[in-house]
Amino acid sequence: MIELVRTNDPIVISFIEALMRDAGLAFFVADQNMSIMEGSLGVLPRRVLVAEDDVDEARRILIDAGFAAEMRDG
């Protein structure tokens, strides 16, 4: 899987999850449960990963939705 976004903002993560789900793309949000380790402070970022075959479409969807600045290079 390829990392698309890394953020501490749960609203951004939730919105991106909805976009990927609506598009029918395979995705995974990594590090969701790290709040247990950090004491629920929201310090550690969560990562949105998509299947390698879907990365171009996922990037296009994020750009169209105004999340270009949130995307990781690569």
Residue-range domain boundaries for the chain? 2-70
Q: Which CATH architecture has domain 2-70?
A: 2-Layer Sandwich (3.30)
CB 28 within 8 A of CB 1: yes
- Answer with the residue of higher pLDDT: 15 or 39: 15
Give residues with Cβ within 8 angstroms of 47, minimum separation 6: 3, 5, 6, 29, 30, 31
Distances (CA, A) of 1 to 26, 28, 55: 9, 8, 9
Residue 42's pLDDT band (boundaries 50, 70, 90)? low
Predicted TM-score (pTM) above 0.85: no
Alpha carbon distance 65, 18 (integer Å): 11
pLDDT tens per residue, range 11-38: 999 999 999 999 999 999 998 776 555 5
